[in-house]
Structure formats: structure tokens, C-alpha cells
């Protein structure tokens, strides 16, 4: 089903940071973006200085930097000057313990204030911050900390006993474990972080770091093999800051909520660095998704800009637009989505239920920041990723058997999405895996591994991961298109689509469907959904089979794990499951 373009009215765009995309993109340079930041003497650059200290130096220290909402709805506020003092104390702890510049500090924490303090304090001390998901078990944690040669870890006493202590002696690089929530005396070989910080001075001279010094280490799982450690440097802050202004339309007086956990890259890039460099007030909710609580946050905290994930949006849709109508969301100015492609009906639902469309954008752990986006001032084509950020050159390419890259210029021709290297937040390496990193680049392009199309207006459209695309009877079928067709049916909450072997066509399309509350699997519903898909997609693309599931397997960042659906369907190895959030049933 095709949705009409959502036209932006002048009043929708009043005060937007990016008012004329074409004109701005034509004159933009990364030097202009760098000039928005202070830097350090002698050409240095440090993310923590740009996120915290420069606001205090400019006389904005009393402004609210972070409001934390606990699971029990307790709130805790940190002004920019309070955040500076706390990050200084943490940096002093690291320095006193002998943790040096470029050494890796890992965190295994839920969304608590100390996580945000530790991230910025680590960067302030010149060390490298590497966040982990709290849902990880001992083996995924051990694997990532081994690859990263972890020097220190911040976690809770409970996590330490369950997930770290059993194997700690196997990782000789791990010299320091800092614990919060200690019940009594800290266990042997650990340090009570709360007590240690209280004894430290609230002042600290930020360690001088160059733009190319390593700052962040984010792990991303491949379909097979061990996780990849994507290295990002302090210059990433140039992209984090400007993309917050342009793609998320952040203004200094905004109240901003990014629902992503800092255990993955969005929660760090846009849940910590981008909003704070832009001087906004950041809302952090420790609790997991709850429909009423989320709407209450939007209303009570008077949130202006909201950045969330398609999975959460689909859950809100499942609860119904009438729930949203019970809350005053008049402070909302801009809402955006990331994590996986946003189905077009979710974009339109935002307009109907919340009074504005969701603005989808696209990027990867490897890109470090938003690369393609729907902007506040730009018309939206529901289902499209939008247009490249100013300063980003994107293309649709094809690769020959000999490895030669050719750009495809024909509108809506499918190929691999590629970017010209050189933007500030581009990963600088896969840690210890030079060959794996080298294969991401060819003929002056960074190859994303995502298939996409570009229309005649310059909007990009996601098709699927290259290894997700289904080849049936000579046709290339993108799973996202099929999933989006199912999402238009009132019974469907989520859909995942894979290719399965077929003697005649090579591959046939199979769909896995999770139903909304109030609907039960049946043969009649199965036939109805098959007919629904066939009517919208045609017989060539529509699936031949449907399986109902209570839940679809997803990563912690909300992406449906199609490769896991396929592995289980075909009895193949399941690969790395460390980022799996929910099992199918």
C-alpha cells in the first residue's frame, strides 16, 4: 500500500534548524561543524569537555542537564555544574587507580545516573568508554571484555557476583572493578565506587586528547563469528553535535528524551553525547517500556523532542490511539525513530495519534551517527529513510565479481547503500581485525551491507540487509516491503519475513506473524492474511506460507532477527545470540 506524501506546512517548520535542505547541503562543510565546538588548546578535542565543561565555562552551569526517573518514579536532577563535579570525581578515581589514557573502561549498568557520569568521566580522563547491555550473560560479557582488553569495569554488586566473578581470573587485563549498590563492604578485589567518589576532589583538568584519539568502543554482532568492536574517536563529537541539530532539530532550551539504552550505540551517541553537546535537558527513565508511563513522561516532563525505536512505536500502536488522546502532548515538536526501518503505517499513525509524523532515520554502529534522515522542514514519504545529512555523500552501488564498484543512477534500482568515507563519526577500525575492517571499503566507498533504492527526488528506501534479501524465481524481494504490507492488517502486531528453499523458485517467501491482543491464530486468519498480502504485493512477492508466533526474536535495540528466524526454520546454526532480547514462542 502506498501512502501519500506528508507535506510540511510553514508553521510546522517555524524555527527549524534546517529550513532549506538543498541550500544548506550545498554550502555545508565539516569545518563549519567543527567551529561550533570549543576544542582544547593546541588542536585537541575531548567529547566530555564539549558535552559538559564548555557549558559551565559559558555560564550555563545552573541549567538542568539530566533528570533521572527511577523505576519507582523517584527523580534525581543534575545541573551541568553538578554533572561536571560528578564526572570530575569519577575521573579522579580512574587517575588515582592508575588507569591511563586509551585504556578501556567497561560499564555494565542499567540506566542510572552513575552510568552517565561514568561515560563522561571516562572520556574526561582520556580513557575509552565501552558500554555493555545488562541483559548479557557471562559469556557475551567475557567475550567483549576480552576483545577490548578491559582495564576496568563499573557494575553493581549483584551483576558482579552473577556475571563477572566466576571468570574474572581468566582476564588478567581486568585490574579494577568498581561497584555500586554495595551491601556492606565491597567484595575482595573490588572498590565501592560511591565511597571512592565521595572522597575525591570535585575538580579535574580534562586530559588532552587529539581528535583521532580513541574514545568509544561499541560492539556489534555479526551473523556468525565473534562480535566486532567498532572504534570511534573524539572527533565523533563533531557529527554527534551537528546531527542532533539537523536530524533531531535540537535547540538549547529543549527537553529531550532518547529511550535507547546506552548499552548500544544510539543510547550513547544520542542518549548522552548529542543532547548534552547541544545544551539540552536530557530525560532518562530507568524503567522498561510501559504505555501509560511513556505517555505520562511525555506529558509531565513537557518533552519537546522524542527519539525512540520502531518496536516501541508498534507497541504504542497496539495499545491504540485513544490512549494517546488522554494525555497532553502539546509540548512535543519533533518525534523520530531509529533501530530498524519504520513501517509507513507507523509514520502515518504518528500523525493521526500524536499530531505529527514519526521521522525515520538511518545509520549504523559503524557510522557512529545519523547518516540519512527525514528532517523537520522536509516533506515525508512514509516508508522512506529520507535524504543524506549535509556533508554525507551516499550512493546506490553494485559490485562485480572482480570487486569493481559501479554507482547506479537509475531511480528505484536496487543496490547496496554506500557512503563516501571521511565523516567525523566514521569508525576507525574493528579492534584487532584489520582485514574485516578493510573489506568494508572499496573504490572510494564505505559499503554498508544494506540494500536500498533512491527515488527521483533523492529519497532513500531501505530494502533489507544484503544477506536477508530473498531471491525467488529471478526476483529480488526485500523482506521489509513484505513486512510492511502485513502491518497494514488490523490483526498484525509484528511481522518477520525470510526466504526458504523452494525446488522451483529457488526460494519462497515465508512470513512469521505476531498478532495484536484480541486476535487468535486460526486457519481462516492465515488465509485472510495471505490474501491481504497477495492483494497488496502481487503473486510474485507475496508469501506462500505464514507461521504464527507469540513473539518474534528481537535484539535489545528492537531489530527483528530474521537470520535467527531462518536458522530455526532450516535447522542451521543460530550464531551469536548475545544481543537477543525476546525468544519466539
The arithmetic mean of pLDDT across residues 109-114, rounded, is 96
The arithmetic mean of pLDDT across residues 516-531, rounded, is 93
Rounded distance between C-alpha atoms, residue 19 and residue 375, angstroms: 9
Looking at residue 7, the DSSP 8-state letter turns out to be P
**What pLDDT is stored for residue 11 in this prediction?**
84
User: What are 260-307's pLDDT values in tens digits?
Assistant: 999 889 999 999 999 999 999 999 999 999 999 999 999 999 999 999
Residues 181 and 307 in one domain: yes
358 exposure class (CB count in 10 Å sphere: 0-12, 13-18, 19+): buried
- Of 146-160, 329-343, 433-447, 476-490, minimum mean pLDDT range: 476-490
**What pLDDT is stored for residue 298 in this prediction?**
98
Give 135's pLDDT tier (boundaries 50, 70, 90): confident
The total number of residues shown for the chain amounts to 585
Distances (CA, A) of 389 to 95, 134, 489: 38, 32, 33
**What pLDDT is stored for residue 225 in this prediction?**
56
pLDDT above 90: percentage of residues in the chain:
76
Q: Which of 359, 348, 263 is nearest to 307 (CA)?
A: 359
Rounded distance between C-alpha atoms, residue 64 and residue 255, angstroms: 10
Residues 374 and 492 in one domain: no
Q: Answer yes or no: is 539 within a domain.
A: yes
Rounded distance between C-alpha atoms, residue 229 and residue 143, angstroms: 11
Q: Answer yes or no: is 389 within a domain.
A: yes
Q: Answer yes or no: is 460 within a domain.
A: no
The CATH number for 119's domain is 3.40.50.12780
Give 538's pLDDT tier (boundaries 50, 70, 90): confident
Q: Answer yes or no: is 189 within a domain.
A: yes
Three-state secondary structure call for residue 269:
helix
User: What are 163-216's pLDDT values in tens digits?
Assistant: 999 999 999 999 999 999 998 899 999 999 999 999 999 999 999 999 999 999
**What pLDDT is stored for residue 577 in this prediction?**
67
The answer to whether residue 581 scores a pLDDT higher than 80 is: no
The percent of the chain in helix, strand and coil, each rounded to the nearest 5, is 30, 25, 45
Give 475's pLDDT tier (boundaries 50, 70, 90): low
Cβ(543)–Cβ(502) under 8 Å? no
Last residue of a domain, one of 403, 419, 454: 454
> 380-416 burial string, b = 16+ CB within 10 Å, else e?
bbbbbbbbbbbbbebbbbebeeeeebeebeeeeebbb
**What pLDDT is stored for residue 224 in this prediction?**
47
Cβ(218)–Cβ(268) under 8 Å? yes
- Of 190-194, 382-386, 421-425, 465-469, minimum mean pLDDT range: 465-469
Residues 474 and 432 in one domain: no
Q: Answer yes or no: is 462 within a domain.
A: no
Cell of 292: 501509560
Give 557's pLDDT tier (boundaries 50, 70, 90): low
Q: What is the dihedral of CA 263, 268, 269, 274, to 10 degrees?
A: 160
Three-state secondary structure call for residue 65:
strand
* Pairwise pLDDT comparison (563 vs 435), residue with the higher score: 435
The answer to whether residue 402 scores a pLDDT higher than 50 is: yes
Q: Which of 318, 112, 139 is nearest to 227 (CA)?
A: 139
Q: Label residue 277 left, alpha or beta by phi (over 0 means left) and psi (-120 to 50 means alpha).
A: alpha
Q: Answer yes or no: is 343 within a domain.
A: yes
**What pLDDT is stored for residue 223 in this prediction?**
47
Domain count, the chain: 2
User: What are 237-257's pLDDT values in tens digits?
Assistant: 999 999 999 999 999 999 999
Q: Answer yes or no: is 5 within a domain.
A: no
> 531-563 burial string, b = 16+ CB within 10 Å, else e?
ebbbebbeeebbbbebebbeebbbbbbbbbbbb
Residues 435 and 478 in one domain: no
Cβ(543)–Cβ(506) under 8 Å? no
Q: Answer yes or no: is 1 within a domain.
A: no
* Pairwise pLDDT comparison (62 vs 139), residue with the higher score: 62
Residues 86 and 185 in one domain: yes
Last residue of a domain, one of 424, 454, 484: 454
Strand pairing class (394-399; 405-408): antiparallel
Q: What is the dihedral of CA 266, 338, 564, 453, to 10 degrees?
A: -130
Residues 441 and 319 in one domain: yes
Residues 143 and 176 in one domain: yes
The arithmetic mean of pLDDT across residues 484-499, rounded, is 90
Bridge partners, residue 418, by sequence:
395, 447
Strand segments (E) across 71-147: 75-79, 104-108, 128-131
The answer to whether residue 474 scores a pLDDT higher than 60 is: no
Q: Which of 410, 423, 430 is nearest to 226 (CA)?
A: 430
Range of the domain at 267: 10-454
Residues 84 and 186 in one domain: yes
> 228-264 burial string, b = 16+ CB within 10 Å, else e?
bbbbbbbbbbbbbbbbbbbbbbbbeebbbbbbbbbbb
**What pLDDT is stored for residue 585 in this prediction?**
40
Looking at residue 168, the DSSP 8-state letter turns out to be G
**What pLDDT is stored for residue 535 in this prediction?**
83
Residues 331 and 220 in one domain: yes
Last residue of a domain, one of 415, 431, 454: 454
Cβ(455)–Cβ(461) under 8 Å? yes
If you count DSSP H runs as helices and E runs as strands, how many of each does the chain have, helices first? 21, 30
Q: In whole numbers, what is the pLDDT of the chain averaged over residues?
A: 92
The arithmetic mean of pLDDT across residues 96-122, rounded, is 97
**What pLDDT is stored for residue 544 in this prediction?**
87
Residues 436 and 476 in one domain: no
Three-state secondary structure call for residue 277:
helix
The answer to whether residue 439 scores a pLDDT higher than 80 is: yes
Cβ(561)–Cβ(467) under 8 Å? no
Residues 431 and 476 in one domain: no
From the CB of residue 373, how many other CB atoms can be counted at a distance below 10 Å?
Answer: 27
The arithmetic mean of pLDDT across residues 39-43, rounded, is 97
Q: At what angle do helices 479-486 and 523-537 cross, to 10 degrees?
A: 120
**What pLDDT is stored for residue 584 in this prediction?**
44
38 exposure class (CB count in 10 Å sphere: 0-12, 13-18, 19+): middle
The CATH number for 537's domain is 3.30.300.30
Q: What is the CA radius of gyration of the chain?
A: 24
Rounded distance between C-alpha atoms, residue 208 and residue 124, angstroms: 9
**What pLDDT is stored for residue 81 in this prediction?**
98
**What pLDDT is stored for residue 561 in this prediction?**
84
**What pLDDT is stored for residue 440 in this prediction?**
95
Q: At what angle do helices 344-354 and 310-319 cross, to 10 degrees?
A: 50
Residues 435 and 398 in one domain: yes
Cell of 542: 507475496
Rounded distance between C-alpha atoms, residue 276 and residue 51, angstroms: 5
User: What are 361-401's pLDDT values in tens digits?
Assistant: 999 999 999 999 999 999 999 999 999 999 999 999 998 88
Amino acid at each position: 500500500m502506498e501512502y501519500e506524501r506528508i507535506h510540511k506546512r510553514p508553521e510546522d517548520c517555524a524555527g527549524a534548524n534546517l529550513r532549506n535542505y538543498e541550500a544548506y547541503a550545498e554550502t555545508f562543510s565539516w569545518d563549519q561543524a567543527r567551529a561550533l565546538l570549543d576544542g582544547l588548546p593546541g588542536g585537541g578535542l575531548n567529547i566530555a569537555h564539549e558535552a559538559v565543561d564548555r557549558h559551565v565555562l559559558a555560564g550555563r552551569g545552573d541549567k538542568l542537564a539530566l533528570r533521572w526517573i527511577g523505576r519507582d518514579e523517584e527523580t534525581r536532577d543534575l545541573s551541568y555544574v553538578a554533572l561536571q563535579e560528578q564526572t570530575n570525581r569519577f575521573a579522579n578515581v580512574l587517575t588515582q587507580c592508575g588507569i591511563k589514557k586509551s585504556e578501556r573502561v567497561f560499564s555494565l549498568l542499567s540506566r542510572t545516573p552513575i552510568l552517565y557520569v561514568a561515560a563522561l568521566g571516562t572520556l574526561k580522563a582520556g580513557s575509552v568508554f565501552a558500554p555493555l547491555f545488562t541483559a548479557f550473560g557471562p559469556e557475551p560479557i567475557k567475550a567483549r571484555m576480552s576483545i577490548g582488553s578491559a582495564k576496568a569495569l563499573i557494575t553493581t554488586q549483584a551483576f558482579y557476583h552473577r556475571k563477572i566473578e566466576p571468570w574474572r581470573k581468566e582476564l588478567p587485563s581486568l585490574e579494577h572493578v568498581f561497584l555500586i549498590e554495595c551491601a556492606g563492604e565491597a567484595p575482595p578485589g573490588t572498590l565501592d565506587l560511591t565511597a571512592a567518589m565521595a572522597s575525591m576532589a570535585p575538580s579535574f583538568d580534562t586530559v588532552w586528547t587529539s581528535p583521532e584519539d580513541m574514545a568509544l568502543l561499541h560492539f556489534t554482532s555479526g551473523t556468525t563469528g565473534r562480535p566486532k568492536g567498532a572504534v570511534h574517536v573524539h572527533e565523533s563529537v563533531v557529527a554527534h553535535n551537528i546531527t542532533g541539530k539537523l536530524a533531531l532539530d535540537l535547540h538549547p532550551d529543549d527537553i529531550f528524551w532518547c529511550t535507547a539504552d546506552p548499552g548500544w550505540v544510539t543510547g550513547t551517541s544520542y542518549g548522552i553525547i548529542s543532547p548534552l553537546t547541544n545544551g539540552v535537558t536530557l530525560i532518562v527513565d530507568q524503567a522498561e517500556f510501559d504505555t501509560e508511563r511513556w505517555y505520562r513522561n511525555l506529558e509531565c516532563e513537557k518533552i519537546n523532542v522524542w527519539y525512540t525505536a520502531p518496536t516501541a512505536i508498534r507497541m504504542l500502536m497496539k495499545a491504540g490511539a485513544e490512549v494517546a488522546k488522554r494525555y497532553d502532548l502539546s509540548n512535543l515538536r519533533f518525534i523520530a525513530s531509529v533501530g530498524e526501518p519504520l513501517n509507513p503505517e507507523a509514520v502515518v499513525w504518528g500523525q493521526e495519534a500524536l499530531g505529527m509524523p514519526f521521522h525515520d532515520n538511518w545509520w549504523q554502529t559503524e557510522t557512529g551517527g545519523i547518516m540519512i534522515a527525514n528532517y523537520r522542514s522536509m516533506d515525508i514519504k512514509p516508508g522512506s529513510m529520507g535524504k543524506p545529512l549535509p556533508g554525507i555523500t551516499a550512493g546506490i552501488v553494485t559490485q562485480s565479481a572482480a570487486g569493481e564498484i559501479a554507482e547506479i543512477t537509475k531511480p528505484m534500482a536496487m543496490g547496496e547503500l554506500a557512503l563516501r568515507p571521511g565523516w567525523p563519526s566514521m569508525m576507525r577500525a574493528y579492534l584487532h581485525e584489520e582485514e574485516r575492517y578493510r573489506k568494508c571499503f572499496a573504490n572510494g566507498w564505505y559499503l554498508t551491507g544494506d540494500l536500498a533504492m533512491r527515488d527521483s527526488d533523492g529519497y532513500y528506501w531501505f530494502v533489507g540487509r544484503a544477506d536477508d534479501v530473498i531471491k525467488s524465481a529471478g526476483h529480488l524481494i526485500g523482506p521489509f516491503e513484505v513486512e510492511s504490507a502485513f502491518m497494514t492488517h488490523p490483526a498484525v502486531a509484528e511481522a518477520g519475513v525470510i526466504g526458504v528453499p523452494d525446488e522451483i523458485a529457488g526460494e519462497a517467501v515465508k512470513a512469521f506473524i505476531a498478532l495484536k491482543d484480541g486476535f487468535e491464530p486460526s486457519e481462516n486468519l492465515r488465509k485472510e492474511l495471505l490474501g491481504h498480502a497477495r492483494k497488496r504485493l502481487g503473486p510474485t512477492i507475496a508469501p506462500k506460507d505464514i507461521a504464527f508466533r507469540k513473539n518474534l526474536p528481537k535484539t535489545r535495540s528492537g531489530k527483528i532477527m530474521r537470520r535467527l528466524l531462518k536458522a530455526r526454520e532450516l535447522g542451521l546454526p543460530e550464531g551469536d545470540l548475545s544481543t537477543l532480547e525476546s525468544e519466539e514462542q
